[in-house]
Amino acid sequence: MGAVTDKVQLVKEESARIAEYLRKLTPAAWETQSACDAWQVRDVLAHFTLSMDMFGACIARGAAGDAAPPDGSSPAGKGDQAARLAANAQRAVTLREELGEGLLAAYNERRVQFDEVLAGLSDGDKDKPCYHPAGTISVETYLNLRLTELIVHEWDIRSVLEAEPVLSSESLPSIVEMFPVFVVGRLFDPGNGMPASSRFRFETTGGAAGSYDIVAGGGEKARMETASHLRPDVILGCDTQTFVLLVYGRTTLEEATAAGKIVASGNNELVAQFGS
């Protein structure tokens, strides 16, 4: 996807669209367990609300040339990732309990403030480094991460309330763009059980269609790269939505192939080992 200013506008639009969708939900829907194990639907909104504080502060500081950890924070990329994610999940629940019926209003208020922070960005800020607890990332990656959080967690909500939820096609390019720099090898590593390094080629269709290789196994962190002349061990065909849901653990390769959403060819043993 294009310039920083385009992504800023997309974050603004997606944030507002999701707020309007949530406003129309019934009280019972708000209390429904989402597809994200730790949260009800209303907890997902609390997470959206909380994360804007950190994202806004770190993006603004990075754009101004300061990528150092905020006071009291661990260095980027250090610390226990599982403990950090668990703490984040609990903070969302706590905020939801504190705000009660005022949660949506709080989200909208912070959304406007976050939009104002992002409005100060320019295309020249694209590659400026920013602090993130998981590791130093660019302004552009932060915007992609915000879009990913919004769209994947929106699916977590819609998937328990609707028969055929669909990821926002406008944001799919930004989500896939972020995979090789932030997700694959950090949050998604399907080769933990593979003794040798193997190349899995994803041929995706629909929005953000493309050809991508995930190289995993052999005791190394997985990595994602644009498909090249190198011969893959396995070829996996699917639409981009299925690819995103697989990478974010909302489905497994076994489930997706059984449902006909992924077609696999090549080494069947490696297919069985992928993500196991």
Boundary (domain end) residue, out of 117, 150, 173: 173
169 and 195 belong to one structural domain: no
188 within a domain of the structure (yes/no): yes
Residues 6+ apart with CB under 8 A from 265: 234, 235, 237
150 within a domain of the structure (yes/no): yes
pLDDT single digits (tens) 119-131? 999 999 999 999 9
44, 43, 247: which is closest to 154 by C-alpha?
44
| Sheet with 210-217: strands ordered across | 220-226, 210-217, 198-205, 234-239, 263-266
Q: What distance in Å separates the CA atoms of residue 274 and residue 255, rounded to the nearest whole number? A: 12
Q: What distance in Å separates the CA atoms of residue 83 and residue 80, rounded to the nearest whole number? A: 5
| The amino acid at 276 | S
pLDDT value for 190 = 96
pLDDT single digits (tens) 209-232? 999 999 999 999 999 999 999 999
pLDDT single digits (tens) 156-190? 999 999 999 999 999 999 999 999 999 999 999 99
- The conformation of residue 206, written as its DSSP 8-state character, comes to S
Report whether pLDDT(18) > 70. yes
pLDDT single digits (tens) 96-108? 999 999 999 999 9
133 within a domain of the structure (yes/no): yes
CATH number for the domain that contains residue 37: 1.20.120.450
Residue 73's pLDDT band, with cuts at 50, 70 and 90, is confident
The total of structural domains in the chain comes to: 2
179 within a domain of the structure (yes/no): no
178 within a domain of the structure (yes/no): no
pLDDT single digits (tens) 84-94? 889 999 999 99
User: Tokens 């661990």 sit at which residue?
Assistant: 74
Higher pLDDT, 263 or 85: 263
198 is written with which tokens? Answer: 């193997």
Q: What distance in Å separates the CA atoms of residue 121 and residue 51, rounded to the nearest whole number? A: 18
Boundary (domain end) residue, out of 173, 204, 239: 173
42 and 106 belong to one structural domain: yes
> What residue spans of 70-125 are helical by DSSP H?
81-99, 103-119
pLDDT value for 175 = 97
pLDDT value for 2 = 65
Up-side HSE of residue 33: CA atoms within 13 Å toward CB? 3
136 and 195 belong to one structural domain: no
136 within a domain of the structure (yes/no): yes
222 and 269 belong to one structural domain: yes
Rg (CA), the chain: 19
30 and 64 belong to one structural domain: yes
For residue 260, give the 3-state DSSP assignment: coil
CATH number for the domain that contains residue 224: 3.30.1050.10
Report whether pLDDT(1) > 80. no
> Which pTM does this prediction carry?
0.95
Host domain of residue 233? 184-273
Mean pLDDT, the chain, rounded, equals: 95
Residues 160/34, Cβ–Cβ less than 8 Å: yes
